[in-house]
Amino acid sequence: MGGLNAVGGYADTDGVVANYSTFGSSDYEDGSFMLAAPYDKGRTMTHEVGHFLGLRHIWGDNTSCVVNATDSNKDYCPDTPAANGPNGSCVTSNSCPTAPGNDMIENYMDYTPDTCMNIFTINQKDRITAVMSNSPRRLELKTSLADIAIPLFANDAELKPEKNCSQNACGAGVPVTAQFILYNRGTNPLTSATVPYTVNGGAVQMMNWTGNLAQDAYEIINIATGVSSGSISARIVNANGVADQRISNNAAVVAIGNSVPVSSTNFTFELQLDPYGSEVSWELKNSAGVTLYSGGGYQDSSPALITQAWNLPVNDCYTFTINDTYGDGIYTTGGYYKIKNSAGTLVLSGQDYTYSQQKIFNVVQLSFLETSEVKQKCI
């Protein structure tokens, strides 16, 4: 479909974001809102959801007043009059006098104050319908079952990893206590749970928890690891003295010391430069200070995505450093970097920095209680 990125972007960043000061409406002010006029009527979310469903700004994200039969030079919706750029007020304007019609300052996809926004056009609605019916991610929303309640069981405990930034440097040598969140998802009060766990794939140890949790209540449980880096894998086998009745939420992994538990040493590095590639350089070093991978000397242009395959042996600490000689990073024009493991899970990423940014992570072997629910610590 015209005007859309065929790649679609990353699933882990696919969503809608609105600043807290523009979320909600001052019409319902109860004294606790922190809304910033003139974007205080909830239209920011309307605007961003419009993007999520395939709409572009009414000026087509360029400054061209030229409109042809297919409207390809602006927003791909012929019934929005041509505009040469965004409007910042509710004053009637015609920024393209050579094309018929005033700018549609009432349209949700302009930048006008919330008080004058009140319309999507018929063609915009058609475009949303087409995206909802054909986009691989959006079409799933029409048949999603996410709003249907899951079946409940009497004895159902859930385990999740908890973030604990008390120890966040590779190889610092200070033993860390791993934290997990124990939830009661059952209809009975949860009074006991049996939790076997392993530290860095070692011998199975046992924790026997007792307490009293009402339905959907939780408690943080601590496991002394005796190590400063690695992964602690745990699972629930019994709840209230009987076999837990839902196994899909029983296992979790906590990585400590900025550790990344992996089942493969293969990683993928992605770098999306901004148009000033000559400013950027980067390197990845191991714990011995040896540079394993590096890059720089890029051209100033409209850059393509740079992708590299990395092999990072386990039980080692890695330092990634990225530099920008101008001091504006790669954030303002859509640049970013990402490191992913072999399963496609994001290990670390960044984009908002000035002259330099450095991140450290430790690669460890995933133990036998493998689960997809892994959280890195303090990366």
CATH number of the domain within which 219 lies:
2.60.40.10
Q: Tell whether 124 and 248 lie within a shared domain.
A: no
Query: What pLDDT is stored for residue 316 in this prediction?
Result: 81
Quick one: average pLDDT of 125-132? 95
pLDDT at 7: 59
pLDDT of residue 226: 86
| pLDDT value at residue 137 | 84
240 and 108, same domain (yes or no): no
Q: What is the mean pLDDT of the chain?
A: 84
Structure confidence by residue, pLDDT tens digits, 313-349: 887 888 899 999 988 888 656 788 999 988 888 888 8
- Same domain membership, residue 49 and residue 99: yes
Q: Would you state the pLDDT for residue 144?
A: 86
pLDDT of residue 164: 53
Same domain, residue pair 271 and 359: yes
Please check whether residues 234 and 296 belong to one and the same domain. Answer: no
What is the model's pLDDT at position 220?
A: 94
Question: Are 222 and 206 contacting, i.e. CB atoms less than 8 angstroms apart?
Answer: no
pLDDT at res. 163: 62
Quote the pTM value. 0.52
Q: 231 versus 109: which is more confidently predicted? A: 109
Structural tokens at position 227: 């190590």
Where is pLDDT greater, at 333 or 132? 132
Q: Same structural domain for residues 49 and 191?
A: no
Position 370 in a domain: no
* Count of domains forming the chain: 3
Q: How confident is the model at residue 377 (pLDDT cuts 50, 70, 90)?
A: very low
For residue 378, pLDDT over 80 is answered with no
| Mean pLDDT value of segment 263-284 | 91
The domain in which residue 114 lies consists of 1-148
Name the least confident of 28-32, 264-268, 277-281: 28-32
What's the pLDDT at 170? 60
Q: Of 111, 131, 148, which residue is a domain's last?
A: 148
Q: Give a yes or no: residue 193 inside a domain.
A: yes
* 173: pLDDT strictly greater than 80: no
